[in-house]
Chain A
Amino acid sequence: MGWKEYFLTALIVNIFQMAIAFVIFSFQGVLPLNPQGFPGLSWDLAFMQAISFGTNTNLQHYNGEGICKQLPNCTSLTPGFPGLSYLSQMMAVQFLQFTSATTGICVAVAMIRGFITHSKDLGNFYVDFTRSLTRILLPLCFLASMVFVGLGVPQTLTGYQSITHTVEGATQTILVGPVASLVGIMQLGTNGGGYFGANSAYPFQNPSPASDIFQIFLMLLIPTSLCFVFGQLIGKKRETRPILWSAYALFALDLLIAFTPNFPVVGPGIEVRFGGFFSVFWTVVTTAVTTGSLNASLSGLNPLVILTAFNGMLIQATPGGKGVGVMYMVMFIVLTVFIVGLMSGRTPEYLGLKITVRDVKLVMIAFLVHPVIVLIPTVLAYSTGAASAIGVGTNSVGFTKIFYEFTSAAANNGSDFLGATANTPFFNISTAIVMFLGRFTPIGLLLALGGSMINRKRLTTEAGVRTDSPLFALILVGSILVLVLLTFFPFLALGPILGFFQGRVNGF
C-alpha cells in the first residue's frame, strides 16, 4: 500500500472499531454481562470514550467501578457517576486498547519501511495489524495477565461481592471484575485507562510494590523495543542510537527535575500507597511513554513533577507512545537535521536521503498540530465558562488542570486532574476532537513522510552529518527542548511553573 492507502485503511478500520465501542457504551444497559445493571452512557460521553480508547489516549470521564446506587453500602461516591459493565470493559475498552496499540505499531513500522532501501511500498495494513496483534500483544498480554492474577489482581465475571463481616463488623462491597486482563494491555499498550476510577492507585488494580514495578516495566517495554526495531528495520543498527539516547536523555532530565524539590513531593492527604519515590517515578514514566495510568493522584504531586509530566506529553518521544513515539522522534530528527544540519555546509540528509522541501513541509505541519489543538481549546474552556461550570478556578492550580486535560488529550496520554467531573458536553466533545486530531493528523503526515522516502535517490556515501554519534544525540535533545519549550513556555509558566513559585502543592 502507498502511504495514502495505508493511512486511509488504518483510519477507516479504527473508526469502525470506535463505532462498535460507541454502540456498546450506549447500550450497555440492555446488553448482557451487566450484573451491576449499569445504564448506557450518555451519547457525548460514549462518543468521547470511544475516541479516547480508540486513539490510545484513555482519558476517562467516568469511574469504571460505577455509580453509588448499585452499591449496597454507598456513602462516598456521588450518585450519577456512570460505571461500565463487564461487557463494556471487555468488548469496548479492552478491545480498543488492543486495536489502538496495534495500530500504533503498524503505522510506525509502515513509516519506517519508507526509509528502508528497496522498499516498494509501506506494507499491508491488514497483514501488519493481524501479525502485531496475534504475535506480539495477545501473547504478551496473556502472560502479563497471568502474572497479575498471581499477584492478586481479580479476574472474574461474578459481579460485585458483598462481605458482611469486616473487622468493624460492617458490610463492604468488594469491587471485582475482569481486571487482570485489562491491566496487562493497558500498560503494555501504553493505553493507561484503568478498570477503576482511581486507576493503579486502587489496590485491586495494583496490589503490591511488585505489581507496581511490573507495571512500570510493561509500560516501558514496547516503546523502548520499538527504538531498536527502527535500527533493525533500517538495516543500520547504529541508527537506533539517536532515537534511544535522546529519548532516554530527555527521560533522565525529567526524572532529575521531578526529584529536585527538596520539600515533600507528595502532599498531605493523598494516596501514598507506594510512597513518594514510586509515585513520582510512575508519573514521569507514564507521561514519558504517554500511557496515562496513575498510581497516585496528580493533585498531590509537586508542580515540578507535573512540569515533567507536561514535558513527556509535549515531546511525546521520551520514548513516547506505542509506535508514535518513534514517529515523533523521526520528526524531530528530520527537523534538527534540516535546521542545524544545514550548518555542515551540505544539503541536509538523514539515512542517506536528502531532505526535500516537501519533507520540511510535512514535519513542520506535524509539529504545528500540537500547539493548535492544545492552546486553542484551553482558552475556549475558560472563555466559554466550561471550566468554571465544573468548579475549576482561574489560579495556577485551575489553569494547570485545564491545560493538562488538553495536553493529555492531544498527546494521547490519558491521565488527568478532572476525571469524572469533566463529564460535561463541552469537555467530552472538545477532548474527543483534540484526541482524534492529535492522533491521526500527525500519523497521516508522518506516514506521508515515510511514503515520500520510497524511491528517493539514496546516497551511499557517508559524507553527511552522522546521526549516530553521541554529539548528534546531544544536539537533538537540545533542539527538541528549545522547539518544544519555545512553543509552550508561556502556558507552562502560567501553570506548573507559577504553581512552583507560589509554593503550592496543587489542590492544597
Chain B
Amino acid sequence: MSTRISKMMSVRRPTLVSRKVLIDSLVRLNPLRLVANPVMLLVEITFFIVVAMAIYPEGFPRLANVSLQFFYVEVALILLITVWFSTLSDALAESQAKNTANSLRRLEMEVSSKKILIEAGSRRIVPTPSRELRKGDLILLEKNDTIPIDAQVLEGIAMVDESLLTGESTAVRKAPGDDVIGGSQVLSDTLTAKVTVNPDETFINQMIRMVESSKRPKTPNEQAVTIVLIGLTAIFTILIGALLGMSLVLSLAADLSVLIALYVCLLPTTIGALLPSIGLSGISRLYKEKIVAKSGRAVETAGDTDVILLDKTGTITVGNRQAVEFLPFPGFTEKDVGEAAFLSSWHDDTPEGRSMIRLAYENGFVPKEMNSLDASEVYEFSASTRTSGVKLAGGTGFMLPKSGGTGRERGRLRRKFEPHVEGGVPIGSDETEIIKGAPDAIKRIVKSVPANYDTIVQKISAAGDTAMALSRNREAIGIVRLRDVLKPDIKEKIMAVKVMGIRPVMITGDQPLTAKSIAAEVGIDEFQPEAKPEDKYDIVKREQAETRIVAMIGDGTNDAPALAMADVGLAMNSGTQAAKEAANMVDLESNPAKIIEVVMLGKQLLMTRGAVTTFSIANDVAKYFAIMPVLFASTVPELKALNVLGLGLNTAVLSALIFNAIIIPLLIPLAMRGVTFKPSGTMTLFLKNTMIYGIGGVIIPFVGIKLIDVAISLL
C-alpha cells in the first residue's frame, strides 16, 4: 500500500523537452499570448520589423540597405529564436508544474462511498462516487473502507490507518468528534461521519488549483522585479529611439537592423524570459516536497526567517525514546532489571516498550516467566499514576485466553492499576507484580527508596536522557535509561540554519535538564522546556515584537493561534483541521523537519530572481562593446576603437544577438532548479553571488560573444 502511494506521489521526471512542450512553446509565439510578457512582445515586434526589412528594404529609406537582405534574414531568425526560447522556458515550467499537479491529483482516488439518506425516519445507504459528496452529507464507513473525503465522526469508534497521509504506520483510534482524512482506511468497526468539505475544497485540490492557475497572483517580490524590468525596458526604448533620431538628423547612417539588434541585446530579455518560470518552478519544487502552500508569498517570507521554532519530538528526535541501559539498585543485578523491563513491557506496544524488550533480549535477559505472560494481568498505563505494569501468576500457572490470541483479546484482561486504593490488588504469594513508570511515581509506591535513587535519576536527566523506574513486588529494583534518538542529519541541518543567521529555538515538554542536554547535543542555544502549547504563541509574540520573522510548525488545535500568528506556519497533515487552516503551509507527509527545507527554498527563490536580474543587467556592458563599433561604422569609423574584443565587423552583431538568445536556454536549468548555495551568512551569500552573477555577468558575455564570433567566422 505505502509503496504504491509513494510511487504515485513521486513526480515523474519530465523528459526535458517533450513534443507537447514543443508545440505549446510554438503556440505561445502568438503575439496576443505574449501580452503578459511585454519584453518578449517588444522583441517579437522588432522581429516583424526586420522581416519587413528583409522582404522590402526599399521601404526603409536611409535605414536599410538592399545589399544586406540576407543579413536581415539572419537577424530576424535570431530574434524569433530569442522569443521562442522564452516561450519554451514558460512551456517547460508549466508542464513541470502540471506533471506535479497530476501526480498529486492521483492521490485523490476516486472511491465509491456509502452515503446515508434519511427518508421518512429510515436510513438508506446509497453508493455515491466521492466526487459527488457535498459538505454536510452523512456517510457510512465500514471495515476496510477507504475514507472518501475529509469528515467528522458522529457515531462509533474505530481504528483508522492514516499511514497514507502521515507515514506513521500505527492505527489511530477515532471516536465521535474526531476528524478523519480522505484517503485513509478504516481497519475495524463502523463509523458514521459527516462530510466537512466539498470535494474541491480538500487541501490537495486547493493546491492543484493553485499550481494550474495561470493567473497565479504575483508575489510582492515578483512585482518589484517586474517594475525594474519595465523601467529598464522604458529606458532602453527611449535610448534607442533617441539614437535612431540622432542617426537620422546627424546622417550617421545607422542600419535599423543593427539598431534593433542593440535594442534587443540591451532589453532585459533574460529576466523577461525566465521570471515567470522562476516563480512557477518554485511552487513546483515545494510540491515535490509534498508541501501545500496557500500562497507563493509565504514561501518567500520563509526566506526572511530570523527565528525558527522546532518541536523537539518529531523534528529533532525521531519521536520516541529508546532504552539504552539498565541500572540496578544495590542488591539487584542488571539481569534483574532487564528481565523486569522485559516482562513489564510485553504488553506495552509503545516504541519505548518495544525498545526495552529489544535491549533486554540483546543482552540475553530473557525471563523464565515468559511462558506465563499470556496468563498475566495487565495494568494499562494511566495518566494519573504515570505507571503501567503486569502481574504474573506464579510458577507454571496458566490462564486460558478467552478466545484467539491477539492483543485486542488480551486487552480484556486489562484493568486499571490503582495502587493507592486501599486493599487494591493483593499480591499473592506466588504472584509477581512488576510496575514501571516515572521515577517519582514509582517512588511513591515502593516500600523503601534506595539511597542512591535520586542521584541516579538526576544523573540520567542531566545527560539529557529519561529515567524509567522499575519495581518488583513494591520494591525498587532499578532504572532504565531511555535516550532520545536524534534524527539523522538534524545536527547538520541545525548547523546550516545557524550559519544562515537564523536562531533555532527548541520547544519541548521535557524537564529543563533533559531539554538542555538535547539542545546542547544538536547545537541549539535556546530552548523552552516543560512547554505547554500556549508557550509557542507567547514565543511567537515575543519574537515578533522584536521585529523578527518567525517560522514554526504545529499540528494540534492548541497550536492554531501560534500558527496563525507566525510569519511562516507549517502544519502537519496529520494534525487537526484547525491547525491546517491557521497555517500558511501544510506538509502532506507530516514531517516537521521540513520547515528547514521551506526556509531554504524561500531563500533560493529570492536568490535566483536576484541572480538572473543582476546577470541580465551586467550582460549589457559587453553587448555595447560588440555593437557600438559597428553601428556607425560607415560614418564614424573612429568608434571601432571600442571593438576591444576584435570581433569581425560583419559578425559582431550576430554574435551578440546569438549570445543574447542562447543565454536563455542555458539559464533555464538555473531558473528551474534555483541557485545552488551552501548555507552561510547573508553577507557571505550576497558577496559570493555578486561575484558570480554580477562580476561574472560582466565578464561571461565578453568571452561568450568572442567564442561565438570565432565560431561564426569559421563557418
Contact A371-B239, Cβ < 8 Å, known A342-B607, A465-B686, A471-B687? yes
Shortest CB distance A311–B (Å): 16
Contact A379-B245, Cβ < 8 Å, known A347-B300, A494-B636? yes
CA distance A378 to B225 in the complex (A): 31
Q: Interface size bucket, A side?
A: 35 or more
- Could you tell me which residues of chain A, from 299 to 357, have a CB within 8 Å of some CB in chain B? 338-347, 352, 355-357
- The reply to whether A482 and B618 form a contact with Cβ atoms under 8 Å apart is yes
CA distance A352 to B549 in the complex (A): 13
Contact A343-B227, Cβ < 8 Å, known A383-B245, A482-B617? no
Of the 9-residue stretches A156-164, A171-179, A358-366, A442-450, which lies at the interface with chain B?
A358-366
A80 interfacial by beta-carbon distance below 8 Å: no
Q: Mark A485-497, 1 if CB is under 8 A from B, else 0.
A: 1111111011001
| B605 to A, closest residue via Cβ | A345
Q: Binding site of B, secondary structure by majority: helix, strand, loop or mixed?
A: helix
Contact A493-B639, Cβ < 8 Å, known A341-B686, A345-B603? yes
- The reply to whether B249 and A383 form a contact with Cβ atoms under 8 Å apart is yes
A501 interfacial by beta-carbon distance below 8 Å: yes
Contact A346-B687, Cβ < 8 Å, known A378-B246, A382-B246, A463-B501? no
A204 interfacial by beta-carbon distance below 8 Å: no
| B247 to A, closest residue via Cβ | A494
Shortest CB distance B626–A (Å): 12
CA distance A365 to B682 in the complex (A): 29
Residues from chain B with Cβ under 8 Å of A339 in the complex: 228, 610, 613-614, 617
Of the 9-residue stretches A211-219, A251-259, A453-461, which lies at the interface with chain B?
A453-461
Contact A394-B685, Cβ < 8 Å, known A345-B606, A490-B628? no
- The reply to whether A343 and B689 form a contact with Cβ atoms under 8 Å apart is yes
A30 interfacial by beta-carbon distance below 8 Å: no
- Could you tell me which residues of chain A, from 371 to 405, have a CB within 8 Å of some CB in chain B? 371-372, 375-376, 378-379, 382-383, 394, 396, 399
CA distance A488 to B632 in the complex (A): 16
A368 interfacial by beta-carbon distance below 8 Å: yes
- The reply to whether A344 and B685 form a contact with Cβ atoms under 8 Å apart is yes
- The reply to whether A466 and B636 form a contact with Cβ atoms under 8 Å apart is no
Residues from chain B with Cβ under 8 Å of A494 in the complex: 246, 252, 632, 636
Q: Mark B680-691, 1 if CB is under 8 A from A, else 0.
A: 001101110110
B520 interfacial by beta-carbon distance below 8 Å: no
- The reply to whether B613 and A342 form a contact with Cβ atoms under 8 Å apart is yes
B641 interfacial by beta-carbon distance below 8 Å: yes
Contact A344-B689, Cβ < 8 Å, known A501-B638, A501-B639? yes
A62 interfacial by beta-carbon distance below 8 Å: no
Q: Interface size bucket, B side?
A: 35 or more
CA distance A386 to B223 in the complex (A): 42
B30 interfacial by beta-carbon distance below 8 Å: no
Shortest CB distance B304–A (Å): 5
> Of A367, A493, A498, which is in contact with the most chain B CB atoms at under 10 Å from its CB?
A493
Residues from chain B with Cβ under 8 Å of A338 in the complex: 224, 228
Q: Which of these, A464, A489, A498, contacts B636 with CB under 8 Å?
A: A498
- The reply to whether A399 and B641 form a contact with Cβ atoms under 8 Å apart is no
- The reply to whether A491 and B617 form a contact with Cβ atoms under 8 Å apart is no
| A490 to B, closest residue via Cβ | B243
A264 interfacial by beta-carbon distance below 8 Å: no
- The reply to whether B547 and A364 form a contact with Cβ atoms under 8 Å apart is no
Residues from chain A with Cβ under 8 Å of B248 in the complex: 383
CA distance A457 to B694 in the complex (A): 30
Given contacts A342-B614, A486-B235, A493-B628, 18 further A-B contacts (CB under 8 A): A339-B613, A340-B690, A344-B610, A356-B220, A360-B227, A361-B227, A457-B547, A461-B548, A478-B694, A482-B698, A486-B266, A486-B617, A486-B624, A489-B624, A490-B631, A493-B639, A498-B636, A501-B641
Q: Residues of A at under 8 Å CB distance from B? A: 338-347, 352, 355-357, 360-361, 364-365, 367-368, 371-372, 375-376, 378-379, 382-383, 394, 396, 399, 457-461, 463-466, 469, 471, 475, 478-479, 482-483, 485-491, 493-494, 497-498, 501-502
Closest 8 CB pairs of A and B: A342-B610, A345-B603, A364-B231, A343-B689, A344-B686, A375-B242, A343-B610, A379-B245
14 pairs of residues in contact across A and B, judged by CB atoms under 8 Å: A340-B686, A342-B221, A342-B606, A342-B610, A355-B224, A368-B231, A379-B245, A383-B245, A463-B682, A469-B683, A486-B620, A486-B621, A487-B235, A498-B638
